[in-house]
């Protein structure tokens, strides 16, 4: 049992303390050493009459038990007189419990002005008057504990109590503001909504329930909220019959209607399901967080509306592609493998396995065949609402592919996709398209993210997007180099796997796109590079493949030689880039392949945790480590340990030592972090690259901080 919590030396005022809850509060506080001013006008439950009997009787009880108390018989509307009693008797005030209340229940259509005004005079004005009289004393002594009394009727409403409900909710608002104003003066303000038997509830509860719901079951919470050790402030608590619970505001994530679209009744109607959907609820803790979405929309509105007659990002983002089925067989897999140059040496059994069904190693699917799955789906981009362009101006910008397990040699896969981002790159627009492919059992067999660059569609006033350099090779010679010549008809062969864009076959159409002749598909070079990495670092075992990400920097003409330079970063990760030998120009950059097995820490299904982490997140922590190494003075300036919880499937946990020399970045949780930052991966990337303001992120609930919140303001020192 913990040591007894005492109030020795503290002076408490309890209003409405002649009966019920107030009496129980006063008796408990006095029994634990507080000197108590027992206030009660002595009137009836409707606010009429007056008597000194009730308050004096409670004072007598306290004194008989060895405690200290003095009676006060003023109305709470005379708050100064109540506080003066405390000063005259005990020279100070430390605790104030605003408990006094009356009822004048009547249905709203029968309610009189007097019914309304009497309730507000006691509950709202009375609470204000007593608290306002005590407030300067609490501020001066840098200590105070104030408890307000609301009601379930104020929170949820109740028939026949419009006046009472409005007043009790007004008390909640008063307490919330005073909690903010008193915080830096060590004045804590909280509110209770009690369920207890009293003169006010005996008219609406059966006698046996009034008897069972003892006020003594509520008072321990009040006493704790009044104690020196309690750090709670701004809280709202429901309490009764030994049950205690804290309330908080909850709201839907809601829907944001771009202001430049015009906020109409029809827009509200069309977004109604999102407006009322609590499945992804938020819990704003203050008015700043509450206003976050509205402020963000206003800030967006200050900018020129993104879009023009050819592109409307607001319409594009979130659009879903129709689901498409693709059935493939060993023949399709063989054709794809030949299209990316496999088995050029037909005697190599390690490559023969990708093209020959009777291979000694058994026929296997080359893993990057999975980029074919969303192709039919992505063809619908030309039909999407909100965009108009010449398909000849479309280029592949970046590609990410993850294959959770080896592909079957025959299957039917269903692919769904959607546009997640639209970026304005000046010379063109970038569409980010995420695709998920599932097999007949509903299991995910591939995840694709394609960034499509459409030339001539830029400068529409949109977000430029992130420009974080990732997958940068180290400053040393490559660990392996592979030269792969392409054939003059390579594009004609590769297009048979599905990408029949005439840009890769028809000289006239290529000229429309600005090329002297048809170019090789970017995804053909993608496959060629993947073959090189798998050959040198995974012994051509497709089961070792986990994921790959590349950026297409320049085009390749069929017949040119692709040189793939590779660096082993770990047993599970290889960085690479590709150049055209004849022109000495890099065509694939910022590229990496994640491999399964070997040094990976395998989890239940055998997948490596690290391989699913967003590569841009990894790049940021890598850059952070380099920054700390280059600037050891950061340790003296910060002197703390951070933990970053990057949430989501593509996240993880890291801790950053800026306290102990030489400092550094480590994967996993810190033993005793001074400050913990929690963010979704995308928001974390935006924050650390300066695309998202930290204060705005906090207000919007995108950034959560625990521990020393002031340390969060020093994050700028870690940004690139």
Maximum CA extent, the chain: 109
Q: Is 69 helix (H, G, I), strand (E, B) or coil?
A: strand
If we measure between CA atoms, which residue out of 68, 85, 64, 92 comes closest to residue 15? 85
Question: First-to-last CA distance in the chain?
Answer: 52
If we measure between CA atoms, which residue out of 42, 151, 26 comes closest to residue 95? 26
Structure tokens that stand for 643 in this block:
């933990």
Q: What's the Rg (C-alpha) of the chain?
A: 35
> What is the phi/psi pair of residue 648, to 5°?
100, 170
Cross-strand pairs, 12 = 36, 95
Specify whether the CB–CB gap between 637 and 598 falls below 8 A.
no
* Rounded distance between C-alpha atoms, residue 413 and residue 401, angstroms: 15
* Rounded distance between C-alpha atoms, residue 397 and residue 378, angstroms: 14
* Rounded distance between C-alpha atoms, residue 332 and residue 350, angstroms: 19
If we measure between CA atoms, which residue out of 308, 289, 303, 309 comes closest to residue 258? 303
If we measure between CA atoms, which residue out of 610, 343, 310 comes closest to residue 462? 310
HSE at residue 571, side-chain half, CA atoms within 13 A, is: 7
Structure tokens that stand for 147 in this block:
């408890």
- The CA distances from residue 550 to 163, 177, 336, 415, in Å, are 66, 53, 19, 21
> What is the phi/psi pair of residue 223, to 5°?
-65, -40
- Name every residue whose Cβ is closer than 8 Å to that of residue 697 and which is 6 or more positions away in sequence: 679, 683, 687, 703
CA 159, chain centre distance (Å): 39
Opening angle at CA 703, ends 701 and 705, nearest 5: 110
Structure tokens that stand for 318 in this block:
């979130």
* Rounded distance between C-alpha atoms, residue 498 and residue 367, angstroms: 16
* Burial (CB count <10 Å: 0-12, 13-18, 19+), residue 541: middle
- Name every residue whose Cβ is closer than 8 Å to that of residue 386 and which is 6 or more positions away in sequence: 307, 311, 312, 313, 314, 315, 316, 319
Torsion sign across C-alpha atoms 523, 525, 529, 534: positive
Q: Which of 90, 128, 156, 164 is catalytic?
A: 164
HSE at residue 145, side-chain half, CA atoms within 13 A, is: 23
* Rounded distance between C-alpha atoms, residue 675 and residue 381, angstroms: 44
Question: What DSSP character marks residue 304?
Answer: P
| Total count of residues recorded for the chain | 720
Specify whether the CB–CB gap between 312 and 387 falls below 8 A.
yes
Count of Cβ atoms closer than 10 Å to residue 235 Cβ: 18
Specify whether the CB–CB gap between 412 and 470 falls below 8 A.
no
* Rounded distance between C-alpha atoms, residue 711 and residue 414, angstroms: 47
If we measure between CA atoms, which residue out of 434, 416, 449 comes closest to residue 550? 449
Specify whether the CB–CB gap between 437 and 444 falls below 8 A.
yes
* Rounded distance between C-alpha atoms, residue 678 and residue 669, angstroms: 12
Structure tokens that stand for 193 in this block:
């909504």
Q: Is the bond preceding 498 in cis, omega lying within 30 degrees of 0?
A: no
If we measure between CA atoms, which residue out of 412, 344, 333, 321 comes closest to residue 367? 333
Q: Look up 164 and say whether it is catalytic.
A: yes
> Which sequence positions are flagged as catalytic?
164
């Amino acid at each position: 049992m913990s040591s007894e919590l005492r109030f020795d030396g503290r002076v408490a005022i309890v209003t409405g303390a002649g009966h019920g809850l107030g009496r129980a509060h006063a008796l408990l506080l006095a029994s634990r050493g507080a000197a108590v001013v027992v206030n009660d006008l002595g009137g009836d439950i409707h606010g009429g009459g007056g008597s000194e009997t009730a308050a004096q009787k409670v004072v007598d009880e306290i004194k008989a038990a060895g405690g200290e108390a003095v009676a006060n018989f003023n109305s709470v509307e005379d708050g100064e007189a109540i506080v003066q009693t405390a000063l005259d008797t005990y020279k100070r005030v430390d605790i104030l419990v605003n408990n006094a209340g009356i009822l004048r229940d009547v249905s709203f259509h029968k309610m009189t002005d007097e019914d309304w005004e009497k309730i507000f005079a006691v509950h709202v004005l009375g609470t204000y008057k007593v608290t306002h009289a005590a407030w300067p004393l609490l501020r001066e002594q840098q200590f105070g504990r104030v408890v307000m009394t609301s009601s379930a009727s104020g929170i949820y409403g109740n028939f026949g109590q419009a006046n009472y409900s409005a007043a009790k909710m007004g008390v909640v608002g008063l307490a919330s503001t005073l909690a903010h104003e008193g915080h830096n003066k060590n004045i804590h303000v909280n509110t209770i909504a009690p369920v207890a038997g009293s003169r006010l509830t005996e008219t609406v509860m059966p006698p046996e329930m009034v008897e069972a719901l003892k006020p003594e079951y509520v008072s321990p919470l009040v006493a704790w909220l009044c104690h020196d050790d309690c750090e709670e402030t701004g809280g709202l608590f429901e309490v009764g019959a030994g049950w205690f619970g804290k309330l908080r505001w909850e709201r839907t994530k809601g829907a944001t209607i771009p202001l430049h679209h015009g906020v109409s009744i029809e827009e509200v109607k069309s977004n109604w399901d999102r407006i009322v959907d609590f499945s992804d609820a938020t819990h704003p803790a203050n008015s700043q967080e509450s206003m976050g979405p509205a402020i963000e929309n206003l800030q967006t509105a200050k900018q020129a509306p993104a879009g023009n007659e050819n592109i409307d990002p607001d319409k594009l983002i979130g659009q879903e592609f129709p689901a498409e089925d693709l059935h493939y067989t060993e023949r399709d897999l063989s054709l794809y493998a030949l299209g990316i140059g496999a088995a050029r040496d037909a005697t190599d059994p390690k490559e023969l396995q990708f093209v020959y069904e009777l291979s000694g190693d058994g026929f296997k699917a080359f893993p990057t065949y999975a980029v074919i799955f969303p192709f039919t789906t992505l063809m619908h981009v030309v039909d999407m609402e909100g965009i108009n362009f010449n398909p000849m101006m479309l280029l592949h910008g970046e590609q990410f592919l993850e294959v959770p397990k080896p592909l079957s040699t025959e299957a039917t896969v269903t692919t769904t996709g959607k546009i997640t981002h639209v970026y304005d790159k000046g010379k063109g627009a970038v569409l980010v398209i995420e695709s998920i492919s599932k097999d007949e059992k509903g299991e995910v067999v591939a995840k694709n993210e394609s960034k499509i660059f459409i030339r001539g569609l830029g400068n529409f006033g949109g977000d430029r997007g992130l420009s974080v350099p990732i997958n940068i090779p180290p400053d040393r010679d490559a660990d392996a180099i592979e030269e792969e010549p392409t054939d003059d008809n390579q594009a004609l062969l590769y297009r048979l796997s599905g990408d029949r864009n005439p840009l890769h076959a028809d000289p006239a159409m290529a000229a429309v796109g600005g090329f002297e002749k048809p170019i090789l598909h970017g995804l053909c070079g993608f496959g060629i590079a993947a073959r090189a990495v798998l050959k040198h670092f995974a012994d051509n075992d497709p089961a070792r493949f986990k994921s790959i990400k590349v950026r297409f920097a320049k085009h390749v003409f069929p017949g040119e030689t692709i040189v793939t330079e590779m660096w082993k970063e770990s047993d599970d990760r290889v960085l690479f880039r590709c150049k055209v030998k004849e022109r000495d120009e890099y065509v694939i950059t910022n590229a990496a392949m994640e491999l399964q097995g070997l040094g990976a820490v395998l989890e239940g299904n055998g997948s490596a945790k690290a391989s699913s982490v967003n590569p841009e997140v990894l790049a940021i922590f890598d850059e952070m480590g380099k920054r700390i190494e280059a600037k050891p003075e950061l340790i003296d300036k910060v002197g703390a340990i951070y933990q970053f919880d990057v949430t989501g499937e593509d996240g993880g946990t890291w801790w950053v030592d800026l306290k102990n020399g030489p400092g550094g970045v480590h994967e996993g949780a810190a033993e005793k972090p001074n400050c913990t930052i929690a963010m979704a991966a995308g928001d974390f990337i935006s924050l650390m690259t300066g695309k998202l303001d930290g204060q705005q992120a906090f207000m919007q609930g995108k950034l959560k901080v625990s521990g020393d919140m002031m340390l969060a303001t020093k994050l700028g020192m870690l940004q690139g």
